[in-house]
Amino acid sequence: MATTFSGLQFALSRPCIPSTPRFADAGTMVLGGKSKVGPWNNLTSASHIASVQPLHQSFTSSSIKSVKIVTKAMSESSANTPVPGLPINLKGKRAFIAGVADDHGYGWAIAKSLAAAGAEILVGTWVPALNIFESSLRRGKFDESRILPDGSLMEITKVYPLDAVFDNPEDVPEDIKTNKRYAGSAKWTVQEVAESVKEDFGSIDILVHSLANGPEVTKPLLETSRKGYLAAISASSYSYVSLLKHFLPILNPGGASISLTYIASERIIPGYGGGMSSAKAALESDTRVLAFEAGRKRKVRVNTISAGPLRSRAAKAIGFIDMMIDYSTVNAPLEKELSAEEVGNAAAFLASPLASAITGTVLYVDNGLNAMGVGIDSPIFKELDIPKEQH
């Protein structure tokens, strides 16, 4: 599943399904713990929530005719109440989030923040995880995680099967075509998904890339094979180029595109191997180039979020996510554990008119850890009078 090691994001272009290790949520350890309602109270919108249909009626796979349901933020009763300050208002906007396969990661958190701000939500889910994801939605397994600030539930208008490693049907090898985990799904390559979204909705306003895959992520770079290295680049970096390439024609001018990265792109993070650090560096470089090209062609803004470590299923598979979170908590300027909602809210800001002049940027959402030059938990600094929170 898409799991990125952004702050130990492991974004897999494919959900975490047994076979080779997969990491998702785009350059992040993308998939974090379950969402809590608290941080959402800071996300205000002038729009309102219209949860007029239960979830099982509001989302469909690509093989089923979709029912369009617009998710808006804030209750009906407060729709006409003036909102003070500068609210994030995405009412009337439509977002496609690639790399959502459960309720644990950055992709899910971003979807919630965008929905809370009024956006309609479409998601792309790795094909082998599609049935489990849709079944969990229908059965209400994610209902607690779907709660928005006003108490209503986030609605997902449509779920599309997606494998961002393949650009078009001609790219799909025979062993994947005949793989039983892909049986029953169709039109799941990047080109086909973009065409399906165009056919179903005409256009979108926000594109989110929250997926990655590093099959050899646990191997040091010196022990990484060419195949493993190129697989990491393909799933974690080029997949974003491909998504934007195919979705750009249906991205409305003034729209926004967001990906997830991790500080391993510029700093040494032992244990984050398999070419994933190289993939994140490529993703950030591509963000700048894509910002220019998409900006000139369609007036679309392109940014990436470098998120701190997050507890996710994919991250736990690597084995040292708890250590990275502890390290960040002790050494970052803000002594606290990063929440998925904080990354989601940052994405909502980047997608909003409030960020209308921001593009080609790496936005750090990691409690400030990226600014530190040393780890203050080292015994060398024990004599310094450094303020520490009492836990």
Of 47, 61, 280, 328, which residue is the catalytic one? 280
Nearest Cα residue to 261 out of 102, 1, 25, 2: 25
**Is 79 within 8 Å of 108 (Cβ atoms)?**
no
CB contact burial 178-202 (16+ within 10 A = b; e otherwise) = eeebbeebebbbbbbbbebbeebbe
CA distances from 375 to 320, 382, 386 (A): 17, 11, 12
CA atoms of 226 and 239, how far apart (whole Å): 18
Of 47, 61, 237, 352, which residue is the catalytic one? 237
191: which 2 tokens? 């080109």
280 is catalytic: yes
328 is catalytic: no
Q: Which residues are catalytic?
A: 237, 280
